[in-house]
Structure 1
């Protein structure tokens, strides 16, 4: 990446954080694949494994960091997003 793009030091840090988020998500995915998405608590109720939240949070972080870097030629986060729908805020 550093040979193909002219990255400032803060961009290298963002790229490092994105790679770490990806790795963390993959670690969680491996545990989910081997142990399943849920476990049974002491009362016999199924509960989501903590790795499910770790994987979700890692994906979100990875996507946000990539958007912040804008390495694929797409405008950065200051670019306009799709407008909100008329029912935004009234959803339940």
Structure 2
């Protein structure tokens, strides 16, 4: 099972950023953007992703957006700590 988790925090205060928009994209799989909001602890999660290269875009009011790219392989378990700047 492939799993990607993450936590979004303020770069300076390290406090969680809740309700940030987290977009997951995979161009090669013709995957429509999958969006979710980070929870009250700044966390997000996707499970059962197909093998491939993905892009995560984080958008939150008052912060600069951030884009990350990662490769999901068989049985990947990836965890990201993402710090956003104002």
TM-score normalised over the length of structure 2:
0.22
Answer 1 or 2: which has greater strand percent.
2
Answer 1 or 2: which has greater helix percent.
1
- Tell me which structure has the larger Cα radius of gyration: 1
TM-score normalised over the length of structure 1:
0.22
Structure of greater relative contact order (alpha carbons < 8 Å, 6+ residues apart): 2
